[in-house]
């Protein structure tokens, strides 16, 4: 029988996948409906700024899970932010 080895990296990858994917439904809905009435501009400004900093940090320490997760999150969150500004 093979013994499974616990790796904290799996928890990090699962967290990255879930938190990144969480933005996809909102981004798709915003672009589909062209409505951002209930989306907070302040929240998405802070979120995009924070994700850009996480991405820079990941690049500086060469951490691929941080880089990939935050690059994808940045695209999704920035999409929502652009829609919020554009569809006013």
Query: What confidence tens digit (pLDDT) does each residue in 6-25 have?
Result: 788 888 888 889 988 998 99
pTM above 0.85, yes or no: no
Architecture of domain 40-88 in this structure: Up-down Bundle (1.20)
If phi over 0 gives left and psi between -120 and 50 gives alpha, with beta otherwise, what is residue 34? left
Query: What confidence tens digit (pLDDT) does each residue in 34-71 have?
Result: 888 888 999 999 999 999 999 999 999 999 888 999 99
Per-domain boundaries in the chain: 40-88
Q: How far is CA 12 from CA 61, 64, 86, in A?
A: 16, 11, 34
Number of Cβ within 10 Å of residue 77's Cβ equals 24
Number of Cβ within 10 Å of residue 47's Cβ equals 19
């Amino acid at each position: 029988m093979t013994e499974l080895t616990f790796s904290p990296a799996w928890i990090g990858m699962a967290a990255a996948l879930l938190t990144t994917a969480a933005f996809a439904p909102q981004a798709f809905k915003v672009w589909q409906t062209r409505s951002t009435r209930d989306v907070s501009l302040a929240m998405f400004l802070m979120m995009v700024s924070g994700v850009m900093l996480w991405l820079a940090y990941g690049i500086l320490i060469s951490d691929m899970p941080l880089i990939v997760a935050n690059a994808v999150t940045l695209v999704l969150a920035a999409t929502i932010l652009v829609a919020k500004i554009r569809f006013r």
